[in-house]
Amino acid sequence: MSAIEDKNKAIVSEAFETLFNKRDFASAQRFWSPDYIQHSAHIPPGREGLFTLVKNLPELHHETELILAEGDMVMVRGRFTGHGEPAPWIAVDFVRMEDGVLAEHWDVIEEEVSREKSVSGLPMYGNDFPEDR
């Protein structure tokens, strides 16, 4: 792992914590490019689209389970709760970094299922099913 990949992972981790968990929108601006490109089907375009969505979901919270980096790409596997849907979302967020800020984003999101609905019999996130927390 290169120093730039370690730095990118740290930036993305701090960005997610600042925006989703601390809800510090003023500080979060320094992490997202003003020209931020959003590819998510769940989030309006640009940095302001993302920030507005988070502002409108006052209970939104993100937990990070895994973060990987290669070159200018960072991947975060985590769980979103407090978005108003019946089940948490298990998400993999892909972020392209540019000049030390989040420049572009893609995601894959799936609803977390209960033990009863898990065909594999295993939890989707961590070691516990949602009903065991």
Report pLDDT for 113.
Answer: 95
Residue type, 80: F
pTM: 0.93
State the residue for tokens 């972020």: 95
Amino acid sitting at position 60: L
Domain range holding 100?
Answer: 3-132
pLDDT tens, residue by residue, 95-118:
999 999 999 999 999 999 999 999
Predicted confidence band at 1 (pLDDT cuts at 50, 70, 90)?
low
Q: What is the pLDDT of residue 34?
A: 97
Which pLDDT tens digit goes with each residue over 19-61? 999 999 999 999 999 999 999 998 999 999 999 999 999 899 9
What mean pLDDT is predicted for residues 11-19? 98
Residue 19 CA, chain-centre distance (Å), reads 10
As a whole number of angstroms, the distance between CA 128 and CA 39 comes to 30
User: Are residues 75 and 67 in contact, defined by beta-carbon separation less than 8 angstroms?
Assistant: yes
Domain count, the chain: 1
Q: Where does the pLDDT of residue 125 fall: very low under 50, low under 70, confident under 90, or very high at 90 and above?
A: very high
Question: Long-range CB contacts (< 8 A, 24+ apart) of 50-54?
Answer: 50/19, 50/105, 51/19, 51/25, 54/19, 54/20, 54/23, 54/25
Assign 88 a pLDDT band (cuts: 50, 70, 90). Answer: very high
- Please state, in angstroms and rounded to a whole number, the distance separating the CA atoms of residues 82 and 36: 24
Average model confidence (pLDDT) across the chain: 95
Q: What is the CATH number of the domain that holds 122?
A: 3.10.450.50
pLDDT at position 49 is 96
